[in-house]
Amino acid sequence: MIDVKHLTENPDLYRASQRARGADESLVDQMLSADATRRSSIAAFEELRAEQKAFGKRVAAAQGEEKQALLAEVKDLAARVKAAEAESGRAQAELDRLQRVFPNLVEDGVPAGGEDDFAVLKTVGSARDFAAEGFTPRDHLEIGELIGAIDMERGAKVSGSRFYFLKGVGARLEIALLQMGLDLAVQAGFIPMITPTLVRPETMQGTGFDVEHDDEIYKLERDDMYLVGTSEVALAGYHADEILELGAEPVRYAGWSTCYRREAGAAGKDTRGIIRVHQFNKLEMFIYATQDQAVAEHRRLLDWEEQMLAKVELPYRVIDTAAGDLGMSAARKFDCEAWVPTQGTYRELTSTSNCTTFQARRLNIRERLVNDDGSKAGTRMVATLNGTLATTRWLVAILENHQNPDGSVTVPAALRPYLGGLEVLPVL
């Protein structure tokens, strides 16, 4: 959630952020009003409480009729104190509600607008000219069926639409990709984590997801638990209500998990193959950093993602996501999109977000501060960041970009050691 004090001191900054997102600017004024009401109601309550305590001393010292008169006043005052306390609670609840729905303050330089208003930061590599090579490229599902890697038909039979089986070289290829990503993460100082995929409502909400209205989230009603769409959720909740000892280096985790998404708004979109599915595997980077480290860490996350894309030899572009497409928690987000030949466009493979202190405020995660002499200097909220190193969707781009005329697939050199030296995924 946002810092109310920062908003009250910089309301125009938050209005500009909401405007860039295409969101409701009036939320700023609602926050200002709610905070003012909260402050005045607290002041009124505390004034009455002080008066009540003073009356208590007068009653204790009084005698006879004076005492009876004071007791009547005390009774009336007690009712007023109770009413003031209730009003203070209502004001705080309203401020809390508004904080829960107010999105993060966007960083300077983030493009304004919606999904199509991103800025392309760079393009790396060139798309293959299949016509010059003398053949028409097959899509990833046709290739996956030819090499015995993907079975959508039986996935649908077992679980319904948008489910699938990865088998044979398909299963091996995904595991190889994730393992290569994990090796890169470990070399960069990340701690490997296999995370829970079911979380409590407070963990899901704390990460920034709207559990009441988000149609993408699977909920287990009987247990009041949620299936995660990314290990970011579990990793964000890992240090909830804790004070971290952050030094010169942030705390970095690499979470390997299965992920679940309802794809509720995807009717008719990407119905063929494994681009948009209900279940997939992902390796997610998650960082707890000091506030002043966050921007630099965000760039490092992007660099690690690009290193992975280079290892699998994919043409891609990096985009600076527009404010209206950031989601609730992110202050800035960079996506890496790989070229998909049969679609003639770039599709997202990785995403990295700087969530600044937004998630930490919701989950109460702070860092301990120290003075130059080593003495304690209080605490402050940490910054959290996340980024994808590998996921099932990568197989789409790998199969299509590295296909051969007969339907076989050449394995990128960096992946071969993870596949026992296999150089080609052959047609069965």
Say which residues have a Cβ less than 8 Å from residue 302's Cβ, sequence separation at least 6: 318, 334, 336, 352, 387
Q: Residue 63: is its pLDDT beyond 60?
A: no
Can you tell me the mean pLDDT for 304-325?
98
Q: Residue 247: is its pLDDT beyond 70?
A: yes
Share of the chain above pLDDT 70, in %: 95
Say which residues have a Cβ less than 8 Å from residue 242's Cβ, sequence separation at least 6: 365, 366
Rounded CA gap, 128 and 409, in Å? Answer: 14
Can you tell me the mean pLDDT for 24-38?
94
Q: Select 119-425's CATH number: 3.40.50.300, 3.20.20.140, 3.40.190.10, 3.30.930.10.
A: 3.30.930.10
Q: Residue 172: is its pLDDT beyond 80?
A: yes
- pLDDT band with cut points at 50, 70 and 90 for residue 374: confident
- The whole-chain average pLDDT of the chain stands at 93
Can you tell me the mean pLDDT for 205-231?
90
Can you tell me the mean pLDDT for 203-208?
93
Q: Residue 79: is its pLDDT beyond 90?
A: no
Q: Assess contact for 130 and 344: CB atoms under 8 A.
A: no
Q: Residue 72: is its pLDDT beyond 70?
A: no
351 is catalytic: yes
- pLDDT band with cut points at 50, 70 and 90 for residue 71: low
**From the candidates 15, 200, 276, 347, which is the catalytic residue?**
276
- Using CB atoms within 10 A of its CB, is residue 307 exposed (0-12), middle (13-18) or buried (19+)? middle
Q: Residue 11: is its pLDDT beyond 60?
A: yes
Strands 383-391 and 345-354 come out as antiparallel
Give the pLDDT confidence score for residue 278 in this predicted structure: 96
Can you tell me the mean pLDDT for 162-169?
97
**From the candidates 142, 252, 393, 400, which is the catalytic residue?**
393
Q: At 236, which amino acid appears? A: A
**From the candidates 332, 351, 366, 367, which is the catalytic residue?**
351
Region at 277 (left for phi over 0; alpha for psi -120 to 50; beta for the rest): beta
Can you tell me the mean pLDDT for 257-281?
90
252 is catalytic: no
Rounded CA gap, 226 and 215, in Å? Answer: 12
Within the chain, how many helices (H) and strands (E) appear? Answer: 13, 18
- pLDDT band with cut points at 50, 70 and 90 for residue 67: low
200 is catalytic: no
Q: Residue 19: is its pLDDT beyond 90?
A: yes
Give the pLDDT confidence score for residue 343 in this predicted structure: 96
Phi, psi of 368 (to 5 degrees): -85, 130
- pLDDT band with cut points at 50, 70 and 90 for residue 269: confident
410 or 40, greater pLDDT: 410
Rounded CA gap, 404 and 135, in Å? Answer: 9
Angle at 330 between CA 2 and CA 273, to 5 degrees: 145
Can you tell me the mean pLDDT for 177-206?
97
243 or 54, greater pLDDT: 243
The CATH fold assigned to 4-101 is Helix Hairpins (1.10.287)
348 is catalytic: yes
Give the pLDDT confidence score for residue 169 in this predicted structure: 97
Q: Which residue has the tokens 């240090």?
A: 239
**From the candidates 85, 94, 216, 348, which is the catalytic residue?**
348
List, for residues 339-361, the tens digit of each pLDDT value: 999 999 999 999 999 999 999 99
Q: Residue 181: is its pLDDT beyond 60?
A: yes
276 is catalytic: yes
pTM: 0.91
Can you tell me the mean pLDDT for 272-300?
97
Rounded CA gap, 298 and 333, in Å? Answer: 9
Q: Please give the structure tokens belonging to residue 121.
A: 């930061």
Dihedral over Cα of 133, 134, 139, 142: its sign: negative
**From the candidates 38, 261, 300, 366, which is the catalytic residue?**
261
Can you tell me the mean pLDDT for 249-273?
90
Domain residue spans of the chain: 4-101, 119-425
Give the pLDDT confidence score for residue 69 in this predicted structure: 65
Q: Assess contact for 124 and 336: CB atoms under 8 A.
A: no
Q: Residue 53: is its pLDDT beyond 80?
A: no
List, for residues 105-125, the tens digit of each pLDDT value: 999 999 999 999 999 999 999
Strands of 316-320's sheet in order across: 119-124, 316-320, 332-340, 345-354, 383-391, 279-289, 251-260, 191-194
Give the pLDDT confidence score for residue 89 in this predicted structure: 87
- pLDDT band with cut points at 50, 70 and 90 for residue 60: low
Share of the chain above pLDDT 90, in %: 80
Give the pLDDT confidence score for residue 270 in this predicted structure: 84
- pLDDT band with cut points at 50, 70 and 90 for residue 59: low
Can you tell me the mean pLDDT for 201-220?
88
